[in-house]
Amino acid sequence: MKLIMLGAPGAGKGTQAKRLAAKYSIPHISTGDIFRANIKNETELGKKAKSFMDQGLLVPDELVLELVADRLSQEDAMKGFVLDGFPRTIPQAESLTETLEKINSGINFAIDVDVPDKNIVRRMSGRRACVNCGETYHLTNLKPKQDGICDTCGSKLVLRSDDEPETVLKRLKVYHDQTQPLIDYYKGRDTLHSVDGTKDIKDIFSEIVEILGE
């Protein structure tokens, strides 16, 4: 089962992607996690990616495509995967389609987690991320066991610069300009399904599982 999670920044697609990966025993492939690891290790890719992410801009295709293609070629992704945060543009989607066609494969479902902009700004301002492992929490919806501390590794939780309201609004504009056309792209390939991202996390998950039919 090969899935793509679509939706604006903060729509909750990452949370659903992790749940789906666990349920179906397939890897959760997040470009955001890959970028954060590179930023933490201060690699050249990480430095370049950070300069765009801090401004709420998309990381250019050439910094992303080769990395994703390599990840999809690894053995654990052969039986399926959940892509989270990629593709973000039509050229990326077309490149992904070409890459999968070379191995006689393709995307089975593109799930759009739909949330209004005003909800996202409010939601992301309450989000906190671990400075060490990148795990994310929310002050009201997904609290850590101990305030300000990551459940996974015990490190400090912070409001990331790209979750601040001004940056979120920039990210949403970029999303509507460049990423939302993906909805039409996958609709044209008969793989798109939309879910109401304002519902409870468990209800959204149940709806997606019903769509997948497994």
d(CA 214, CA 211): 8
d(CA 116, CA 176): 12
How would you classify the pairing of strands 127-130 and 2-6?
A: unpaired
Beta bridge partners of 137: 128
134 closest CA partner among 26, 17, 32: 32
109 closest CA partner among 15, 176, 11, 16: 16
User: Which residues are annotated as catalytic?
Assistant: 13, 88, 127, 160, 171
Helix or strand (DSSP H, E) at 90? helix 90-102
Residues 6+ apart with CB under 8 A from 62: none
